[in-house]
Amino acid sequence: MTTRGRSRTSRPRSSGCGGTWSPEPDPARAEPGPVAIIGPVRFEAVFFDAGETLVHPHPTFADLFSRILKREGFDVGPEIIKDRIHVVFDRFREAARTKELWTTTPEKSRLFWHDVYAIFFRETGIPDSDGLIDTVYREFTDLANYSLFDDVVPVLGKLRDAGLKLGVVSNFEEWLERLLDQLGVSAFFDVRVISGVEGLEKPDPRIFELAMDRAHVTPERSVYVGDNPEFDVDPAAAAGMFPVLLDRRERFSDASATRITTLDELPGVLGL
């Protein structure tokens, strides 16, 4: 299902980090080339978030979490985990507010996720005994526990064949690079801007600007696809890009931005 609308943030705003991204074309940054067309807009590049957009814990975050807990002797079903998934989003918001940059070192990542799992444990009455949090963290940083969504490779291939530049812009630890390589999709991406490598995290608009600089494209010729309005849609729109909300779990049916529920819908949105 595709829905169209205006992003809640439709005009560029101050980055709060020393500048404002201008949507005006910069001839030095872009050269004419194959483009996709949507209305009067011509696109040259499509950038993607990673987690829940391209990759996911297998089979889902809730299922993997539940499986780990059951193996360790705690009968907590996936539905209970899903009911408390807001814990993750709330923690992301807090990290962004306080500028924790939680992805940028292994220790920061470990502390961040330990906090998330500890909240889950408290809400479900599970004691952190015998290093249970460490066990959960270890499983969720094991590349073998991640998969691509089924629609990723076909759609990336179609976009690449249409001549579009492709990129990743993600709040993720540095091991995302190895994960994309292991999953066989690294070669699709001309640009990979990973917060754990760059020291910038969404919603900071500089992470989007960095990706566009490296791809030599301007904001008005750039698309950004992600699964979260607050960390993907709004900051991408603020940077002058065309944002697309990929709502695989159908959590944001009232979103005002262009919304799709499978990646298969993206080429149609771009007029391909």
Residues with Cβ < 8 Å from 162, sequence gap 6 or more?
34, 36, 267, 272
Q: What is the pLDDT of residue 51?
A: 97
Q: Encode the chain (272 residues) as per-residue pLDDT tens digits.
A: 665 554 333 333 333 333 322 233 333 333 444 445 555 458 999 999 999 999 999 999 999 999 999 999 999 999 999 999 889 989 999 999 999 999 999 999 999 999 999 999 998 899 888 899 999 999 999 999 999 999 999 999 999 999 999 999 999 999 999 999 999 999 999 999 999 999 999 999 999 999 999 999 999 999 999 999 999 999 999 999 999 999 999 999 898 899 999 999 999 999 99
Based on the number of CB atoms within 10 Å of its own CB, is 107 exposed (0-12), middle (13-18) or buried (19 or more)?
exposed
| pTM of the predicted model as reported, rounded to 2 decimal places | 0.84
- Measured from the Cβ of residue 264, the count of other Cβ atoms closer than 10 Å reads 13
Q: Do residues 186 and 8 lie in contact, with contact meaning Cβ atoms separated by under 8 Å?
A: no
First to last CA, the chain: 17
Phi and psi of 76, rounded to 5°? -120, 115
Which structure tokens are listed for 149?
């969504």
Residues with Cβ < 8 Å from 182, sequence gap 6 or more?
143
| C-alpha–C-alpha distance, residues 75 and 43, integer Å | 49
Q: Do residues 207 and 20 lie in contact, with contact meaning Cβ atoms separated by under 8 Å?
A: no
